[in-house]
Amino acid sequence: AVQLQLQSEKKSLQGKVKQLEEGVDAMNGTLAEVKTKADEAAKLAADTSRMVVETEKVEAMKRHLSDRDSEIAKIREEIEKVKAESQAQQEKLQEAEYRYQQLLKSTAMQSTAGMNMG
């Protein structure tokens, strides 16, 4: 009877050991899954971090380009002003030249008239 009881306990213990081993195997599988998900999460976090850095770089480049565009617009305005001033000076010069030519003609005519009279 003791032997039957021992055999029964042995079977019971073997069953519990088998159950515990299956539980350990299941936990190992879950652990591997969790590690894989943690690795994926770490990669995703790294990618996201890289993307944030890249986005910041792109934004900085956009600001830089915007500043450059503003500078170019100012320079173009200045060039247009200089062109307009140059055109105005050119017109004044032509006007002065025309008056000078008229003065020369007038002086020449007076000189000629003075010679003819004399």
**Whether pTM exceeds 0.75:** no
DSSP string of 31-55, one letter each residue: HHHHHHHHHHHHHHHHHHHHHHHHH
pLDDT at 54 over 70: yes
pLDDT at 6 over 60: yes
pLDDT (mean) for 88-99: 96
pLDDT at 118 over 60: no
- CA–CA distance from 76 to each of 2, 36, 86, 113 (Å)? 108, 59, 15, 55
